[in-house]
A and B are shown apart, each in its own frame.
Chain A
């Protein structure tokens, strides 16, 4: 069965520090998607990135970067020069191809989240 592990429950950093959030996943599927979402105190999940299992290229978007390594089943997220506005809970999630078979492909399996606190 699919599983997503975010071992870091809470991370505290000082503004401008770099921080990496870890995500390890388990799946039997060869075709799958990985996601990162941000949940600010308001509660709404905000989509950050999607990566499919055939694309191991790392991605950079501004201060955000993602490192996908199939060999270690990891999809880590790095924030460079963190800011107070980055404070939130970050979730890694997995979507498997086998869910398509039922006709519903939008099921996400989430990790337990990492609470990031960025202080001045």
Chain B
């Protein structure tokens, strides 16, 4: 079974631009969560999608948004990029949600650099 895939793996943008990152979960998994990892703030939860609906959201500004498609693939978008958005963005997939403690599988991440 293929793991979680994220594209692109590396991305360089300039301030003010917008970016879209993609995540394909493991086949059969319907929950996709996104995390931002920075040296200063560590790993922080962005949002979770299940069956095309956002189920939970972290404490990030509205510039960060996401969506999920009917095939469970998910995208996240960051508009009006700031230098502080430079980070590793990780996606995780799980079969279920609505209960806690589900095993989640992470992708390799997208390394975003904002210049």
B-binding residues in A (CB < 8 A): 31-33, 37, 42-47, 50, 52, 91, 93, 95-97, 99-100, 102-113
Tell me the smallest distance from the CB of A99 to a CB of chain B, in Å. 6
Interface residue range, chain B: 20 to 34
Encoded as 1 (CB less than 8 Å from any A CB) or 0, chain B from 15 to 46 comes to: 00000000000000001010100000011110
Q: How distant is B33 from chain A, measured CB to nearest CB, in Å?
A: 5
Bound Cα distance from A25 to B107, whole angstroms:
25
Contact of B103 among A42, A50, A97, A109 (CB under 8 A): A50
Q: Nearest 3 pairs between A and B by C-beta?
A: A104-B55, A104-B56, A33-B101
Interchain Cβ contacts under 8 Å between A and B, 20 examples:
A42-B108, A43-B88, A44-B106, A44-B108, A45-B90, A47-B103, A47-B104, A100-B98, A100-B100, A102-B55, A103-B97, A104-B56, A104-B97, A105-B97, A106-B48, A108-B33, A108-B35, A110-B42, A112-B42, A113-B42
A93 to B35: give the CA distance in the assembly, Å.
Answer: 13
Q: Is B64 an interface residue (CB 8 A)?
A: no
Secondary structure type dominating chain A contacts: mixed
- Are B33 and A107 in contact, with the CB atoms below 8 A? yes
Minimum Cβ distance to chain A for residue B10 (Å) = 11
Main secondary structure of the interface of B (DSSP, over half): strand
Which of A96, A105, A113 lies at the interface centre, i.e. has the most chain B CB atoms within 10 A of its CB? A105
Question: In the complex where A50-B101, A95-B101, A110-B42 touch, is A104 in contact with B50 (Cβ < 8 A)?
Answer: yes
Interface positions, chain B 94-115, Cβ under 8 Å from A, are 94, 96-109, 111
Contact between B98 and A52 (Cβ–Cβ < 8 Å)?
no
Known contacts A110-B42, A113-B42; A103 and B103 CB within 8 A of each other: no
Contact flag A103-B43 (CB < 8 Å), given A43-B88, A50-B103, A95-B101: no
Please indicate the chain A residues that have their CB under 8 angstroms from the CB of B96 in the complex: 105
Flag whether B84 is at the interface (Cβ < 8 A).
no
B107 touches A44 (CB 8 A): yes
